Structure 1
Amino acid sequence: MTDQWVTFSKIGPAEAVHLKGEIDLANAHAIGRAIVARTTAADAVLIDLTAVSFLDSAGVRLLDLIVGELDERGKPIRLVVGERGAARMTLQLCAFRTDLFAVDLDHAAAELAG
């Protein structure tokens, strides 16, 4: 049922998570379960937020938990936030880790490849 907000693909060795629409308290938990189920065995993770139109505190908390889990397992992650947009603005306002930001999927994949 989360297909309307999250889809997945592979980009090189990374599992790419593509989020879209509004990510908020109503759907963050279900999206989180889908992401964890798909990325648990991933070597690296890209989370594409460029199609997110709204990101509330539940969405920010979800991203923080995913980043923390991947950091603990030593798995690289990049958040694709574009040059502007709702997700980038919200994450910047929350002082989220900008070292994880990438402008587009190509740059994110290249950074993870090394």
Structure 2
Amino acid sequence: MTEQWVSFSRRGVAELVHLKGEIDLANANDIGRAIVARTTTADAVVIDLTAVSFLDSAGVRLLDFIVGDLDDRGKPIRLVVGERGPARMTLQLCAFRADLLTTDLDKAAAELGR
């Protein structure tokens, strides 16, 4: 059911999560469950938000939860938000951790040393 919003692949040792479309109250919980199930054993996680067209507070809370969970387990994470776009704008407005935001997949991989 979540395939319309989330897909997965690998980039080196990192689990790569691709999100697309609108991430909001209607789907954030389902997306979160899919991400947690897939990233539980990952050494590192990259979440690509460049195809997200809308991100509301439920989506921000979802990302905050995932970041907190990975931080607690000592696993690095990066959020790919592009140079501009809805996800970047929303996360910046919410004062989301800027150290986790990057512009593209290559930079994310380099920052994770993978």
Shorter-normalised TM-score: what interval? over 0.9
Structure 1 distance, partners of 2:112, 2:75, is 10
Secondary structure of 2:70's aligned partner: helix
* Runs of 4+ more than 2 Å apart: none
Deviations 1:45-68 (A, max 9, x none): 000000000000000000000000
Structure 2 counterparts to residues 1-114 of structure 1, below 5 A: 1-113=1-113
Structure 2 distance, partners of 1:39, 1:32, is 10
Deviation at 1:110, TM superposition (A): 1.0
Structure 2 distance, partners of 1:65, 1:92, is 17
Deviation at 1:23, TM superposition (A): 0.0
Deviation at 1:40, TM superposition (A): 0.2
The number of equivalent residue pairs is 114
- Could you list the runs of 5+ residues in structure 2 that have no partner in the other structure? none
Structure 2 distance, partners of 1:96, 1:60, is 8
Deviation at 1:32, TM superposition (A): 0.1
**TM-score, structure 1 normalization:** 0.99
Deviation at 1:84, TM superposition (A): 0.1
Query: Which amino acid in 2 is paired with 1:24?
Result: D
Structure 2 distance, partners of 1:7, 1:25, is 19
**TM-score, structure 2 normalization:** 0.99
Structure 2 distance, partners of 1:31, 1:108, is 21
- Could you list the runs of 5+ residues in structure 1 that have no partner in the other structure? none
Secondary structure of 1:61's aligned partner: helix
